Amino acid sequence: MIRFLLKGLIRDRTRSLFPTLVVLVGVALTVFLFNWINGVKNNFIQVNAKFNTGHMKIMSRAYAAEADQIPNDLALEGIEGLLLNLKEDFPDVIWTPRIRFGGLLDIPDEQGETRTQGPVVGLAVDLFSASSPERNLLNLENAVVRGRLPEEPGEILISDEFAHQLNIQPGEIATLISSTMYGSMATANFTVVGTIRFGVAAMDRGAMLAEVSDIQFALDMPDTAGEIVGLFSDFLYSNEKSEEITSTFNTRYMKTDDEFSPVMTTLRNQGGLAEYFDMVSSVSNAAIIIFIMAMSIVLWNAGLMGNLRRYGEIGARLALGEDKGHIYRSMIAESLMIGCIGSVLGTALGLAISYYLQVRGINISFLARDASMMVSNVWRAQVTPASYIIGFIPGLLATFLGTSISGIGIYRRQTSTLMKELET
Amino acid sequence: MENGYLIKTENLVKTYPMGYGSLVALNRVNLAFQKGEFAGLVGPSGSGKTTLLNIIGSLDVPTEGSTMVLGEKIESLSHKKAAHLRNQHIGFIFQTFNLLPVYTVFENVEFPLLLLGMPAEERKNTVMKALEWVHLADRAKSKPAQLSGGESQRVAIARAIVKEPEIMLADEPTANLDAENSHNILQIMERLNKELSTTFIFATHDEKVMHYLRRKITLVDGAVAKDEILKPQQGGGEN
Ligand SMILES: Nc1ncnc2c1ncn2[C@@H]1O[C@H](COP(=O)(O)OP(=O)(O)OP(=O)(O)O)[C@@H](O)[C@H]1O
Ligand SMILES: [Mg+2]
């Protein structure tokens, strides 16, 4: 009997092939959209974490209060000791010091006169120490456009865009004019050894990347840094975990009576990201839910229509003595099979597209050129474990429910009414 | 059978809700059929012929009254029991044939036997025997779409008789057929009636069918207006 019904199902393409295709397409779209939204959202979090906020950031309390003004006069002192403690207390987290600074970059000509100059936003990171995570965090190897990475003290990178604007070539000398931690003027000479492009518009405008110890020396900040960022070694942000570490750290190190004592802040709680994240989350969740619902309705109807169309066949089967319950169950089994096959294939297709766009990405730099937020220029899909099951909600559940509910018609309708429909 | 009757209706009433009132499709129908009858329900369109056939065939339930079929009270049967009764004892033939289009002729005829759970070998022989009855053994592998109307109706007959039911209910079986095919299938049915003592009840407008009937029941507005014996009953019934 089962073989007989399967035979019919396979032969009748309007019952097997087409519904399967509808499910397949709907599921593929759902899976892809889910991955795309997740990818963009997580990419945004990751770019922020790596370039700016870390998953947690430690600053002095005073610095933290005005962090957006980069108040290096309030920077955190005694970072060597603090870093050692951090590595001991929280070994699963990557900790690294950074100094942000502003200034003027001056390029002299042969005579030592200013050939060109421009304002820079500087970032000083640990470039040289063996255990430095920065090459990886900032993806430096790939960010180099011209020249090379710094290898010696006194070597810096500047953003490629900036280099083009000021017509600076790798190998040229540049003088940074800034102010020391104590407010007096600071000048230091560097060699520009390369240009970089991070692919994050906010980072690629007038940026200078230097070794942290060089900047400590230049700005008179020994054993001092604006911030220490911490990232989980899997680079995945977990709000609970960072909250936990943050509160442990703050009870241990923060002193309410000392505004230069360190304070730790989670990624979420920096620079209005909380509101932004909540908004992105609710918008993306809403989009995903609406989409899944829309797909569910489409697939539901596919299940429904399929059965309405089949009242004729069902009437004939009833007349031949098949029990209503048996027909109902066979219809549900059929829809489950189609839902299953369609969902598996659709998930495979959706994942394939997602993987492609996870590797390839779509360049949206034309949109992000003026963005002040940390948004990557290349948006990518992201495949997560949930990607493998999300498609089954519309694919299997909706098809199944659609069939179950439309099938109730078989029970509710008088058999003779079904027969009548079969005659038309 | 109980009281010698295969089928017996008592004060059968069927009404359908219509707007604020209701439409009376069957109005106090009292009829009895014996084994081996070859009877026809005739009457104008809307007189209740199909409704009566459907109730006898346990596809529908009456609003009032009762129907005994093969000793079973139709209106009190569960869906499962009714299905079982249809599967084992009642064959249907429709105006529109209602073959399952995705299945071959053989498979269409095989379907009721699958429901009965008959083993494969026996099934094959039984199906082929039924197809021989309707002279279609050579079309076993065809699909319904490849058949003419007459052939389709013959397949439907084979499908209805394959389980050798006591009762065959035929609702306008010739309405979509030309004269030659109509006579052809009527002769087949007459032969089945004679050789297997299968009871036939038709619902029909067709004059051609009337020539074959041995009993003619005229329905008007859901009530029996006339019940005539046209020819003496065939032997084979126990009454
Ligand atoms: N499901 C239904 N709902 C409402 N009215 C119905 C339904 N089925 C039948 N009727 C009505 O019941 C009456 C009898 O219908 P039935 O189909 O039995 O007539 P019939 O004698 O078979 O007619 P025809 O010769 O046209 O086939 C008709 O008036 C019809 O409109
Ligand atoms: Mg009718």
8 A C-beta contact, residue A147 and residue A141: no
Please report, as a single letter, which amino acid is at residue A391: G
- Residue that terminates a domain, selected from A178, A210, A236: A236
pLDDT tens, B97-114?
889 988 999 999 999 999
8 A C-beta contact, residue A143 and residue A198: yes
Q: What mean pLDDT is predicted for residues B216-232?
A: 93
- From B51, B61, B68, B141, select the one nearest B103 (Cα to Cα): B141
Q: How far is the CA of A312 from the centre of ligand 1 (A)?
A: 18
- pLDDT value at B49 more than 90: yes
Q: What mean pLDDT is predicted for residues B174-193?
A: 92
Q: Are residues A32 and A79 both part of a single domain?
A: no
CA dihedral (A81, A83, A86, A90) positive or negative: negative
Choose the residue to mutate in B27, B45, B171, B172 for probing ligand 1, maximizing ligand atoms within 8 Å of C-beta. Answer: B45
Q: How far apart are the first and last CA of chain A?
A: 28
- Residue that terminates a domain, selected from A189, A219, A236: A236
Q: Are residues A63 and A204 both part of a single domain?
A: yes
Which of A315, A316, A325 comes nearest B79 by C-beta?
A325
Q: Are residues A187 and A313 both part of a single domain?
A: no
Q: What's residue B19's pLDDT?
A: 84
- With a CB cutoff of 8 Å and minimum separation 6, the contacts of B188 are B133, B134, B154, B157
Q: What's residue B73's pLDDT?
A: 92
Give the nearest chain B residue to A310 (CA atoms): B100
Residue A418 CB neighbours (<10 A): 23
CB-CB neighbors (< 8 A) of A320 in chain B: 86-87, 92, 111-112, 115, 159
Q: How many interface pairs between A and B have CB atoms less than 8 angstroms apart?
A: 79
- How far away is chain B from the Cα of A328, in angstroms, using its nearest Cα? 12
Kindly tell me the number of DSSP H helices and DSSP E strands found in chain B: 7, 10
CB-CB neighbors (< 8 A) of B51 in chain A: 416
- How far away is chain A from the Cα of B55, in angstroms, using its nearest Cα? 9
Nearest CA to ligand 1 atom 3: B16
- With a CB cutoff of 8 Å and minimum separation 6, the contacts of A89 are A248, A249, A252
Spatial separation of the C-alpha atoms in residues B226 and B31, rounded to whole Å: 11
- From B26, B16, B8, select the one nearest B199 (Cα to Cα): B8
pLDDT tens, A12-42?
887 788 888 888 998 998 899 889 888 888 8
Q: What mean pLDDT is predicted for residues B23-51?
A: 94
Alpha helix locations (H) across A309-423? 311-319, 324-359, 365-368, 387-390, 392, 399-412, 415-423
Q: Is residue A269 one of the residues assigned to a domain?
A: no
- Residue that terminates a domain, selected from A236, A259, A286: A236
Please report, as a single letter, which amino acid is at residue B146: Q
Q: Are residues A94 and A228 both part of a single domain?
A: yes
The total number of structural domains in chain B stands at: 1
pLDDT tens, B148-170?
999 999 999 999 999 999 999 99
Spatial separation of the C-alpha atoms in residues A271 and A52, rounded to whole Å: 10
Q: Are residues A376 and A353 both part of a single domain?
A: yes
- pLDDT value at B126 more than 60: yes
Q: Are residues A27 and A63 both part of a single domain?
A: no
Q: Is residue A244 one of the residues assigned to a domain?
A: no
- pLDDT value at B186 more than 60: yes
The total number of structural domains in chain A stands at: 2
Spatial separation of the C-alpha atoms in residues A271 and A285, rounded to whole Å: 23
Q: Is residue A241 one of the residues assigned to a domain?
A: no
- pLDDT value at B237 more than 70: no
Residue B87 and residue A319: Cβ atoms within 8 Å?
no
C-alpha B29: how far from chain center: 18
- With a CB cutoff of 8 Å and minimum separation 6, the contacts of A146 are A160, A163, A170, A194, A195
Q: What's residue B238's pLDDT?
A: 43
Q: Which residues of chain A have pLDDT under 50?
A: 424
Q: Are residues A76 and A225 both part of a single domain?
A: yes
Q: Is residue A268 one of the residues assigned to a domain?
A: no
- From B27, B43, B7, B30, select the one nearest B204 (Cα to Cα): B43
Q: Are residues A6 and A90 both part of a single domain?
A: no
Spatial separation of the C-alpha atoms in residues A393 and A291, rounded to whole Å: 11
Q: Is residue A253 one of the residues assigned to a domain?
A: no
Residue A323 and residue B103: Cβ atoms within 8 Å?
no
- With a CB cutoff of 8 Å and minimum separation 6, the contacts of A413 are none
Q: Can you name the residues that pair with A156 across neighbouring β-strands?
A: A192
Own/partner contacts of A246-249, CB < 8 Å, gap of 24 or more, are: A246/A56, A248/A89, A249/A56, A249/A58, A249/A86, A249/A89, A249/A90
Q: How far is the CA of B65 from the centre of ligand 1 (A)?
A: 18
- With a CB cutoff of 8 Å and minimum separation 6, the contacts of A418 are A311, A314, A315, A318, A410
Q: What mean pLDDT is predicted for residues B76-84?
A: 89
Please report, as a single letter, which amino acid is at residue B67: T
Spatial separation of the C-alpha atoms in residues B94 and A312, rounded to whole Å: 12
Q: How far is the CA of B135 from the centre of ligand 2 (A)?
A: 28
Residues, beta carbon < 5 Å, ion ligand 2: B 50
Residue B54 and residue A416: Cβ atoms within 8 Å?
yes
Indicate the pairing of strand B90-94 with strand B167-171: parallel
Q: What's residue B4's pLDDT?
A: 74
The whole domain housing A312 covers 2-47+275-423
CB-CB neighbors (< 8 A) of B53 in chain A: none
Indicate the pairing of strand A227-232 with strand A93-108: antiparallel
3-state DSSP call for residue A305?
Answer: helix
Atom of ligand 1 nearest to the CA of B43: 21
Confidence grade of residue B239 (pLDDT, cut at 50, 70, 90): very low
State the DSSP H helix or E strand holding residue A28, giving kind and residue range, or none if neither: helix A17-48
Q: How far is the CA of B69 from the centre of ligand 2 (A)?
A: 21
Q: Are residues A40 and A69 both part of a single domain?
A: no
Residue A316 and residue B60: Cβ atoms within 8 Å?
no
Residue A318 and residue B59: Cβ atoms within 8 Å?
yes
- pLDDT value at B123 more than 70: yes
Spatial separation of the C-alpha atoms in residues B64 and A234, rounded to whole Å: 75
Spatial separation of the C-alpha atoms in residues A275 and A286, rounded to whole Å: 16
3-state helix, strand, coil in chain A (%, to 5): 55, 20, 25
Residue A323 and residue B61: Cβ atoms within 8 Å?
no
pTM of whole model > 0.80? no
Question: Which DSSP letter does residue A99 get?
Answer: E
Q: Is residue B147 one of the residues assigned to a domain?
A: yes
Determine whether A385 is exposed, middle or buried from the number of CB atoms within 10 Å of its CB (0-12, 13-18, 19+): exposed
Q: Is residue A174 one of the residues assigned to a domain?
A: yes
Q: What's residue A416's pLDDT?
A: 62
Chain A, 291 to 330: residues with Cβ < 8 Å from chain B are 312-313, 315-326
Nearest CA to ligand 1 atom 11: B25
Chain B, 154 to 173: residues with Cβ < 8 Å from chain A are 159
Q: Is residue A258 one of the residues assigned to a domain?
A: no
Spatial separation of the C-alpha atoms in residues B226 and B42, rounded to whole Å: 10
Residue B59 and residue A423: Cβ atoms within 8 Å?
no
Spatial separation of the C-alpha atoms in residues A387 and A38, rounded to whole Å: 10
The whole domain housing B82 covers 2-234
Percent pLDDT > 90 in chain B is: 79
Q: Are residues A70 and A13 both part of a single domain?
A: no
- From A235, A211, A207, A54, select the one nearest A145 (Cα to Cα): A207
With b for 16 or more beta-carbon neighbours within 10 A and e for fewer, the B102-118 pattern comes to: bbbbbbbbbbbbbbeeb
Q: What mean pLDDT is predicted for residues B201-207?
A: 93
| Ligand 1 pocket, Cβ-based, cut-off 6 angstroms | A 417, 420; B 16, 23, 25, 45-51, 203
CB-CB neighbors (< 8 A) of A414 in chain B: 60-61
Q: Is residue A363 one of the residues assigned to a domain?
A: yes
Q: How far apart are the first and last CA of chain B?
A: 10
Looking at this predicted complex, what is its ipTM? 0.86
The residue written with tokens 């955190």 in the block is: A76
Q: Are residues A279 and A419 both part of a single domain?
A: yes
Q: Is residue B239 one of the residues assigned to a domain?
A: no
Q: Is residue B207 one of the residues assigned to a domain?
A: yes
What is the CATH classification number for the domain harbouring B152?
3.40.50.300
Nearest CA to ligand 1 atom 7: B16
DSSP states of B130-159:
HHHHTT-GGGTT--GGGS-HHHHHHHHHHH
| B94 close contact with A: CB closer than 8 A | yes
Q: Are residues A404 and A284 both part of a single domain?
A: yes
Spatial separation of the C-alpha atoms in residues A388 and A383, rounded to whole Å: 8
CB-CB neighbors (< 8 A) of B159 in chain A: 320
Residue A414 and residue B100: Cβ atoms within 8 Å?
no
Give the nearest chain B residue to A424 (CA atoms): B96
Spatial separation of the C-alpha atoms in residues A342 and A17, rounded to whole Å: 9
Q: What's residue A307's pLDDT?
A: 65
Write out the two tokens for B156: 């439907």
Which of A1, A321, A423 comes nearest B94 by C-beta?
A423
- How far away is chain A from the Cα of B21, in angstroms, using its nearest Cα? 20
